[in-house]
Structure 1
Amino acid sequence: MALPVVLRNTLGVVAVGLRRYIEWLTALQRYLAFFAWTLAQWIAFTQLIVQNQPDIDANDVAAIARQAGNAGNLELIQKILFGLMLCAAILLGEKFAIQWIAYKFHERSYAERIAAQKIQTGCLTTLYKHSSEIPGRSDTLKDNQSAAPSVINPKKLLRGVIKGVKGVASHTTTALGNVASEIAGSSVLQPNSPAAMVATALSSANKTRQLARRIFYSFVQPGATSIVITDIAQYFPDHEMTEIAFGMFDKDGNHDATRDEVELACLEVHRERLALANSMRDIDSAVGRLDNILMSFYFIIAALVIAVTLEAKLTTLLTGAGSLVLGLSWLIGASASEVLTSVIFLFIKHPYDVGDRIDIDKGSYIVKEMRLLSTVFIDVTRGCLVQVPNASLSTQFISNIRRSGAMSETFTFDVAYDVEFEQIEALRSRMLAFVQSHRRDYQPTFDIVVSGTVFSYVLIFFTLFTSLEDIPGQEKMILKADILYKSNWQQGALKTKRRNKWVCALKTAMAELKIHGPSGDPSAKPGPTKYTQIPWEEVKEMERTQMPLPDLSTSEPRIPRGEWSFTDQDAMILDRRQDVFDEADEFSFPMAPTPRPGQDMRQRRMTRGVGETGEAIEMSRSRMSTAPRRR
């Protein structure tokens, strides 16, 4: 249909708010056309054929019989056309419901993220447009680098083909898929335009980093290590847009942005772009699976509608259909319950998106793929893929790290009981100075709690929370300090870096202030070793009474000559309990040949201390395997 294209290029340009309805019309155009065609056929047949039968003579019996037969046939055709019109209306309602679910879910879950993504991409495009190539640097983005064809990755190409096939299978939600394609950078843009260059660069982590460095080195003042808002203010139309663009880099609000901050901001835009595109594609695929399930019910309803229009008894049909459903309830009851639970979990609860870091039952996972009935995670600890049914996840406590704000972590450590409170206060001052010097990583308040008394120190920049937790048995003091991070833990490497830096600073401060653990100073030099001398006569008498008699037998002990081995070599290489590919029976080696007589010559020397004089008795013997030695 050409109507959606015409409306998009006319009303869609004038009234932006109508674009969503035009997208709906584009997705539903075939079903609207089918319903309109069946409705027109039914109305036209009723008005033009059924209502316009010729008049016949009342005395012509043959003509009356022919007209009665024709009337029966026309009534049957009219009923069939009416049934097709009802089926088309039900089909249109089902497709409209699918579009409504997709749109409402998109509006609630992704509208704000998509708007923020477009604003950030627009800011980067403006900065790239006014930037220039940096001579002498190979780590910045070149003007012809993004548009140059890259090396084809077969794995990525195969994944793209698979995603394309999935997209064709779930074509009913194209209104949502168009937005995902636009975010992913697959919309049509002029190849050499700044928007196309930025979109292409944001599709790769390496090129995103090069784009960030180009922007930084293009606007940083000579001799400076960071950019300020005045460096980019002239390239934006108003001050509000300038603050939005600079706030994208200045996450800590200290009114400057270093190169690392610019790189992290651009990489965050890159990851958010990929996460949005993959999340919306997965949701589009899940909606397509839901559409397939609803279409199964549609065919049953359509068959009932056609049967009723052909003058079948409705009560008989409903009774038979109900008996069939009740008979199959034991077979499809659990599956139907799982589908309903999964739909509610995925579309109504929706606790995560693709790329989110979540915690479930003391485990950390990254969402890789969302499906209608299950979700695929990446185990952060082991790196393996984990597939979990959505019905099981609906009863779990899920902590979404990406959606969380600034997070904190409690660090517990023990100190000696004789540590004075002045030392703890000095430790607080040292750590406060540390967080002030690293204000990009930590939060801006400080509280200390000692034995139930709270002392609050509200400062301008960052926070450390120290608590005297317990004094068990007057042996040690247990202290707790909260590491209040500036952001969440979505980027695990960044969180680990900040934690290691904080812990090392705490360790250095404790060493400088002589605050040690319950065992004392770990770096103290050891004192003199004290020992007791015992008379030699007593020791010699004790050894003589406890010394066992030497074993003079000639039987050889059964101990291995080489390495210790308590299992078969084949079993160590391929365990039958882990034989996934049925290779245990094939994996075997022939046993070593038995040595021939006369070849097993062994020489052994045994040294043993005997008697009070400590003399050594050396015994040598040779044993032939063919001639046993006489005793």
Structure 2
Amino acid sequence: MSFLTSSAKSSGDLESGKKSAGVTITTDVESEKTSRPVLGRRKTSERATGTSTSTEKLVYDGEEDALTKIGNFLYKVHSASILTRYALYILPVAALLAIPVALTATVYGERKAGNIRLLGLFIWIEIIWFALWMCKLIAHGLPFIFEAVAGLISGGIRKYSLVLISLEIPVSLFLWSIVSYATTHVICVFNSKDVCSNESWFQTLQTVFKAGIVVAAIFLAEKTIIQLVSINYHRKTYHEKIKESKKLIKLLDLLYDASRTLFPEYCHEFEEEDAEIQGNTLADVRTQLAKAGVQTKVFDNMGRVRDKMTAAFGAMASDIAGKQVFSTTSAHNIVIEALETPRASKALARRLWLSFVGEGRDVLLKQDLIEVLGESRLVEAEEIFALLDRDANGDVSLDEMTLLIVNAGQDRKNRASSMHDISQAIAVLDRLLSLVVLVAIAFVYATFFSKTFASKTTQLWTTFTGLAFAIGGTVTEFLGCCIFLFVKHPYDVGDRVTITDTELIVERISLMYSVFRRIDTNSTLQIPHNIANTLWIENISRSKAMKERLTLAVAATTSHDDILTLHGELTKFVTSDENRRDFQPDFEVELRSVGDLKQLDLRVEIRHKSNFSNETVRNMRRNKFMCELLSAARRIPLEPPGGSAAPLGDPSNPAYSVAVSDLEGVAARERKRVEVEGARLVPAGGRYEDLVMQQEGGVSSGLKAFGGAAGSLLGRRGSVRSGEIGRRSGDASMLGR
């Protein structure tokens, strides 16, 4: 149950553009109304099937722990404005620090730390306490200043204010370390300069804060790199996808509102669809009971009662808070909830499609949307239809709309999982870089405090060189994985990819490896990123409309007209009303080769209107086309290589022998020789040039030139009998064939 609630929340935050924490804590309705912290432990509830399938929030059924007066005070402080909170944080401690300042200024005025009066030290401590919170307040206001200034230059860089928001603590520590070092001279205000310059602890204090500036700068640089990697990666990978998803959901909200206007919720036309859309948490229970013959009407109404009660509380809360709260009946919330499950998504698609399609028609047209939404919303109607009509064929079928909405819900889930995996990978990268920063901090302090450290630089570099050889492979692998994941990023969670001719589905992405599921065996496969970085990766899900090529071998006696007939029959198939949503009208049949003169190799190229990410849809379309290809080949007909006649010895083609005399055999062979010789364009021993000269009056100049070139290539083989040339003069007509 916690998983379902966390997924729903992460999906909502994803589309709203907000970042959510790694752990989602669900509270009951009353705690959401008051926004007060409730202490306790939740218990799971059991349903009729023995497992909880509802997405209702689980509540603690015991007594609520009441907050004490101190708890209420701290809660009010936390809920106050930032200035009020900072004042309550600063002033009590400042008052306590003022006590030693007053004592060292009056009663203990001559007390010293070494040769330096304590009064200056306590004043400096008071200053750096105020400076800490002032630096934090400045770091808190930097994003707003950056947005105002960047907005004057370019609106595109204003998004980087999110980086400054995440870097509030590192920036405040860096500024505070600078202020602390710059104000150390306050300690010596009540003493001469010679006294402070000779005091060892004062010099050590200055060295600590001087090194602290470098350390804070390194820490700030590391966090800045992590934030820039995160924001640039998410902007490059998910910005357009989230933008398209928001646009689609907004248009679905508009369609659902119009559908409810035409057909109220739970009307007899859409009672079943509305029960699945708004009460999908009990859908599995209803199905099982319906199969058992149990009346499920009470379950159909449970979702309605729950939503009505929540909406009633939401109306009261909205009046009090001045904003929309618990609006379960809003179109946006209903659409978002329906996209969570494929079953509810299909029900939503059916309701929307059946609400707008004209009576007696089986497709949705643009005019239907205009009639329902009105001429005043013509632009919105055209935008909605362009979004629904992905194949641009002028209408939208029920299957097309169902596939669009189901894929939209699945894409939201995959995107949320991918963002979660990448966030974990960035967190791992942050921890590894933090380890590097820790080592750098140690070297910084060693450089500032050790006088002999600089003299041992050569020895340290020798050690580093040996260490580099020891861990060089690991560092190379780590850098290669980072470049592969954050720079190249060839796939996301849920994508269908082909790696080394193996079809895979991306299940999970980590910093050093990815987990896949094989399509052919459904087994789990893990590939390290440094290995995948060297492989060809074909991303099917990111591809646009794809095409497929099929090879077909036919008999060598197939004519050009038969090939054109095949092209026409297949073109008629892909442009028919029932297939034009699946295939593009562009179609090609290409003669690839003639092989060994015994067959013709044809290549048929079909162009789909989508990619092959959905295996079920792809197989259905491919099977349909393959059946039509075979049927068209039989109708023409196209003969296979070797012909389609029955083999010798078959009852329809019996084999038998006939005895003839030697004279008849010799005469038959001579007739065959003469027949073969008569079929030749140029007689044996003849020249093609002489044939061209004989037909000079009936051929073109281009043919004569070709004949001359052919004669020069063939060479002169001697004269040819004029009787033979004259006898073959009628065969020149074969050139035009």
Q: TM-score, normalising length from structure 1?
A: 0.67
**1:423-477 CA deviation, whole Å, 9 max, x = no partner?**
322222211110110211112xxxxxxxxxxxxxxxxxx0221122223333322
Give the 3 Å change call, closer, same or farther, for CA 416–482 of structure 1 in structure 2: same
Give the Cα separation in 2 of the matches to 1:492 and 1:214.
26
Instruction: State the number of aligned residues.
Output: 468
Contact 1:410 1:483 in 2 (8 A): yes
**Which of these residues, 554, 569, 582, is aligned with residue 441 of structure 1?**
582
Pairing 1:508–2:636 present: no
Q: After superposition, where does 1:61-76 map in structure 2 within 5 Å?
A: 67=195, 71-76=199-204
Q: Deviations over 1:125-148 (max 9, x none)?
A: 221222234524565244972585
Quick one: distance in 2 between partners of 1:144 and 1:485?
32
Match in the other structure for 1:198: 335
Give 2:15's aligned residue: none
- 236, 254, 259: which one aligns with 1:108: 236
Change (3 A) 1:347 1:18: closer
SS of 1:498's partner is: helix
Partner of 1:609: none
1:55 deviation in Å? 4.4
| Matched letter for residue 360 of structure 1 | I
- Alpha-carbon deviation of 1:5? 9.3
Is the 2:363–2:397 contact (alpha carbons within 8 Å) kept by the matching residues of 1?
A: yes
Q: Which residue of 1 aligns with 2:221?
A: 93
2:355 and 2:178 map into 1 onto residues whose CA distance is: 64
Matched residue, 1:603: none
Deviates more, 1:411-420 or 1:212-221: 411-420
User: Are positions 1:220 and 2:361 aligned together?
Assistant: no
What secondary structure, in the 3-state scheme, does the structure 1 residue paired with 2:278 have? Answer: coil
Q: Does the 8 Å contact 2:171/2:220 carry over to 1?
A: yes
Q: Which runs of 5+ in 2 are unaligned?
A: 1-77, 83-136, 286-324, 657-737
Work out whether 1:265 is the aligned partner of 2:400.
Answer: no
Question: For 1:25 and 1:190, how far apart are their aligned partners in 2?
Answer: 34
- Match of residue 125 from structure 1: 253
- Contact kept, 8 Å, 1:146 with 1:197, in 2: the verdict is no
Match status 1:81 vs 2:213:
no
Q: Cα distance 1:442–1:150, how it changes in 2: closer, same or farther (>3 A)?
A: closer
Matched, 1:140 2:268: no
Whether the 8 Å contact between 2:581 and 2:609 is mirrored in structure 1 is: yes
CA separation of 1:8 and 1:92: change in aligned 2, threshold 3 A: closer
Aligned ranges 1:453-602 → 2 under 5 Å = 462-518=585-641, 520-521=643-644, 527=651
Aligned counterparts, 1:7-86, within 5 A: 20-44=159-183, 46-49=184-187, 51-55=188-192, 67=195, 71-86=199-214
After superposition, the C-alpha distances for 1:230-254 in whole angstroms (9 at most, x for unaligned) are: 3334649754443332222111212
Aligned to 1:211: 348
Residues 408 and 148 of structure 1: is their aligned pair in 2 closer, same or farther, counting only changes over 3 Å? closer
Contact residue 338 and residue 344 of structure 2 kept, 8 A: yes
- Alpha carbons of 1:18 and 1:410: their partners in 2 closer, same or farther (altered >3 Å)? closer
Correspondence for 1:348: 487
Quote how far apart the aligned CAs of 1:420 are: 3.0
AA at the equivalent of 1:381: D
Judge conservation of contact 1:427–1:513 (CA < 8 Å) in 2: yes
Residue 199 of structure 1, CA deviation: 1.7
Q: Deviations over 1:492-551 (max 9, x none)?
A: 22111111111101111112222231354499996359699xxxxxxxxxxxxxxxxxxx
Distance in 1 (CA, whole Å) between partners of 2:275 and 2:226 is 45
3-state DSSP of counterpart to 1:514: coil
Q: How do 1:217-256 and structure 2 match up within 5 A?
A: 217-233=354-370, 235=373, 239-256=378-395
In the TM superposition, residue 346 of structure 1 has moved relative to its aligned partner by: 1.3
Residue of structure 2 equivalent to 1:421: 560
Letter in 2 for 1:114: I
Q: How much has 1:31 moved relative to structure 2?
A: 2.2
CA distance in structure 2 between the partners assigned to 1:128 and 1:11 by the alignment: 40
Q: Secondary structure at the match of 1:130?
A: helix
Q: CA deviation at 1:112?
A: 1.5
Partner SS state of residue 131, structure 1: helix
Larger RCO (CA under 8 A, 6+ residues apart): 1
Q: Within 5 A, what are the aligned runs for 1:277-288?
A: 277-288=416-427
The answer for the alignment partner of 1:554 in structure 2 is none
Secondary structure of the corresponding residue to residue 275 of structure 1? helix
Secondary structure, aligned partner of 1:345: helix
Point out the structure with the larger helix share: 2
Deviation digits for residues 90-120 of structure 1 (CA, Å, limit 9, x no counterpart): 1111101111111122222222222111111
Identify which range, 107-116 or 294-303, moves more after superposition.
107-116
- Give the Cα separation in 2 of the matches to 1:148 and 1:519: 62
Contact 2:146 2:161 in 1 (8 A): no
Aligned counterpart in structure 2 of residue 380 of structure 1, from 506, 519, 522? 519
* Partners of 1:257 and 1:523 in 2: CA distance: 49
Matching residue within 379, 396, 400 for 2:539: 400
The aligned residue for residue 334 of structure 1 is 473
Structure 1 pair 213/522, CA: closer, same or farther in 2 (3 Å)?
A: farther
CA contact (8 A) 1:139 1:213 kept: no
The structural deviation recorded for 1:357 is 1.4
Superposed counterparts of 1:260-339, under 5 Å? 260-316=399-455, 318-339=457-478
Residue identity matched to 1:242 = A
Q: Distance in 1 between matches of 2:148 and 2:377?
A: 24
Relative to structure 1, the CA distance from residue 483 to residue 55 in structure 2 (aligned partners, 3 Å threshold; closer, same or farther) is closer
Pick the structure with more strand per residue.
1
Inter-partner Cα distance in structure 2 for 1:17 and 1:5: 21
The 3 A distance-change label for structure 1 pair 475 and 147 is: closer
Rounded to whole Å, the distance in 2 between the matches of 1:363 and 1:267 is 26
CA distance in 2, matches of 1:322, 1:231: 76
Q: Which residue of 1 aligns with 2:528?
A: 389
Cα deviation for residue 365 of structure 1 reads 1.2
Match of 1:452 in 2: none
Q: 2:588 & 2:156 partners in 1: Cα distance?
A: 50
Q: Mean Cα displacement is larger for which, 263-272 or 317-326?
A: 317-326
Paired residues of 2:276 and 2:343 also in contact (CA < 8 A): no
Change (3 A) 1:432 1:289: same
Q: Is the 8 A contact 1:248 1:265 kept in 2?
A: no
- The change in CA–CA distance for 1:86 and 1:8 in structure 2 (over 3 A counts) is closer
Cα RMSD of the aligned pairs, angstroms, is: 3.5
Mapped partners of 2:177, 2:369: distance in 1: 60
Distance (whole Å) between structure 1 residues aligned to residue 445 and residue 546 of structure 2: 60
2:142–2:164 contact (8 Å) kept in structure 1: no
Deviations 1:152-191 (A, max 9, x none): 9xxxxxxxxxxxxxxxxxxxxxxxxxxxxxxxxxxx9744
Task: Report percent identity of matched pairs.
Answer: 28
Unmatched 5+ residue regions in structure 1? 57-63, 153-187, 444-461, 533-631
2-structure distance, mates of 1:314, 1:264: 68
Where does residue 540 of structure 1 map in the other structure?
none
TM superposition shift of 1:317: 5.7
Q: What amino acid maps onto 1:391 in structure 2?
A: N
CA contact (8 A) 2:173 2:216 kept: yes
CA distance in 2, matches of 1:396, 1:23: 36
